[in-house]
Amino acid sequence: MLSIPTAINLLANCILSVSSTLLLVAIFGNPEHPVWNNPIKAWICKLGMTATCCGAVLNIMTLSTPNMSEILLNSGLSMTFCWLSICQWEENKRNKELEMHSKAKITRNSKVVKSVKKPKTLSNVK
């Protein structure tokens, strides 16, 4: 049977590992994300989130009962990463909807011209 602090730490690390993985996919799976504008910033972000995810997975595997300060830290990190991954997902969804809306607007406003008739003038009227 797990103690309450161990269960809280386990839950926090499960949330942290899932949300940090989702955030990695959301940010680095999008080639147009602003993080790609600066390669140093991209590598720091990638390494930091990867280390966070790996640390959370190792905490899950060991089922350790750390100090209360570490449990509080893991809980705060898990809530922050969860909130951040939800916000990133909503932003990606909104950007895709705006992109689809703008493409539909362009398609709707453009007309296909099947044939061009010569305008009637006095010289070509029979």
Q: DSSP letter string over the chain?
A: ---HHHHHHHHHHHHHHHHHHHHHHHHHT-TT-GGGG-HHHHHHHHHHHHHHHHHHHHHHHHT----HHHHHHHHHHHHHHHHHHHHHHHHHHHHHHHHHHHHHHHHHH-------PPPP-TTT--
Residue 24 has pLDDT above 60, yes or no: yes
pLDDT band at 103 (very low <50, low <70, confident <90, very high): confident
Residue 5 has pLDDT above 70, yes or no: yes
Residue 111 has pLDDT above 60, yes or no: no
- pLDDT score, position 122: 64
Residue 38 has pLDDT above 60, yes or no: yes
| Mean of pLDDT values over 33-42 | 90
| Mean of pLDDT values over 115-124 | 60
- pLDDT score, position 92: 86
- The structure tokens 């950007």 sit at 95
- pLDDT score, position 76: 97
pLDDT band at 99 (very low <50, low <70, confident <90, very high): confident
- pLDDT score, position 126: 55
| Mean of pLDDT values over 39-62 | 94
Residue 48 has pLDDT above 80, yes or no: yes
